[in-house]
Amino acid sequence: MKKFFVLLILIFAMLLSVGCGGSSSEKTKETTSNEIPQWDPKKGSIDLSDRKNYFVLIDGKKYDLNTNIATFFNDGYAVYDLENMKQEVRAGKYIANDIYFRKNGETYFCMQPINRTDKTITKEECTVYSISIQDTWYTDATIIGGITIGSSRQEVEEVFGMEFGLGTSEEYRMLCYGEVLSYGFNFSFDESWQVISMMVYSYAN
């Protein structure tokens, strides 16, 4: 069992791996719906297979799996290496290295792009595979059920349930829901079991 947890940590670390980042003024059509799905406590935990639940609210703006990467630039975010955004991504592939988005001198979030089209496109033309938030960054970010940095383990389990598709680790204080690399929500906690990082990801949109 310990080996399983070590493997889980390695997988989680890979999804949060160090990547590159610049800014862009190129306009791309926004494909994200403005409708914000709501969690109904009376219906129990959320449906992990429903991709409408896979979104992040940052400063009140919704970003989901259909958000074009260029949209972040249009909203005033910047990355460290703009030229890198011209890197080509083959159809059906995602980039494992994170792209860190900044605004007003602060890191807000990191994400990984995916090409869900049937042709080769650039990173900037891709949509979202994953978005990650950490407590050491700007933290005005919320996911389904009102979960945010600082939420308790109990609050997370009320929204996501007790069936941890990927398991849980008391030693590393992690709760992981979904199917590895396919879709899910990952949370890590401090010693008081309050959320210090969270990630939303899905291969399909």
Domain limits of the chain? Answer: 2-202
pLDDT at 27: 37
Instruction: Please list the helix, strand and coil fractions of the chain in percent, rounded to the nearest 5, in that order.
Output: 20, 30, 45
Mean pLDDT of the chain: 83
pLDDT at 1: 43
The identity of residue 156, as a single letter, is V
Is 20 a residue whose pLDDT tops 70?
Answer: no
Tell me the pTM.
Answer: 0.80
pLDDT tens across 81-119, in order?
A: 888 899 999 999 999 889 999 999 999 999 999 999 999
